[in-house]
Structure 1
């Protein structure tokens, strides 16, 4: 009987720690998603430097694919990004925002880039530069994707 009383706290701790590990990714990644949505929203509502800048339209060739695949293990938030399609899109967004921040150093764009890098933990993804869009439209689409990911992650 004494052994049972000693095991109860240990088992409770193991269960609690395990759930914290599972919930940990969501706790560390959801604030990044929320901040990206908030910054994209504030940037698209008013004009800012580089508002009309032309950037590659990374969203054009990713709209139809939603097949779940294996994600790079380096990504701390890959379990929240439900499909490889979303993951690749966010990775391409990192590449585009790196290019933008080099020619348009704007603090909110830099913060958005930092949060995206936290989500995908990659900085080099191929970007097709044949189709172009305005930075404002790019940010609006990026906001929509992050809202979708955030709403899915809140369900878990």
Structure 2
């Protein structure tokens, strides 16, 4: 039983559209990570009013954290943070940035927070770290992690 002449173009369109959607989502996620990197870069290269503000240091000793392990929910963007440690770190960064943006009214912080929430597909992540760092150092480490994730995403 062969394919009819009318069915071949339909199947071709379905295959082409599906491929475009998958690649489009990945491109959209990469642009989210790129925006996080650019926002963090702009904030770390200049002093601003809140740059010396103290925030929780979620980047230190994440392997021995006593909180439960967080797993990415199924979304196209959460798959970019492939390792559980990267995902947990980004998820906790959302919480820290939410707290920081409440104290520091910078649009870049709110934008980064929104992009991170889109990336990890979660809004609440437990943070029980006791170490403190300056916001500028926090943003620098966050930029480094996102650069690593971005470079991995371009390999696919």
Q: TM-score range by the shorter chain?
A: 0.7 to 0.9
* Distance in 1 of aligned mates of 2:114 and 2:71: 23
Partner of residue 154, structure 2: 154
Partner of residue 72, structure 1: 73
Which structure 2 segments of 5+ residues have no match? Answer: 65-69
Post-superposition shift, 1:27?
Answer: 1.9
Partner of residue 45, structure 1: 45
Alignment RMSD (CA, Å): 2.1
* Distance in 1 of aligned mates of 2:81 and 2:15: 25
* Distance in 1 of aligned mates of 2:63 and 2:135: 18
1:57·1:129 contact (CA, 8 Å) conserved in 2?
yes
- Deviations along 1:35-79, one digit per CA (max 9) or x if unpaired, are 100010111001011100111111112369xxxx95212x44111
Q: How many residues align?
A: 151
* Distance in 1 of aligned mates of 2:12 and 2:46: 51
* Distance in 2 of aligned mates of 1:19 and 1:93: 32
TM-score (norm 2): 0.88
TM-score (norm 1): 0.88
User: How do residues 1-156 of structure 1 correspond to structure 2 at under 5 angstroms?
Assistant: 3-62=3-62, 71-73=72-74, 75-156=75-156
Higher helix share: 1
* Distance in 2 of aligned mates of 1:96 and 1:70: 18
Which structure 1 segments of 5+ residues have no match? Answer: none
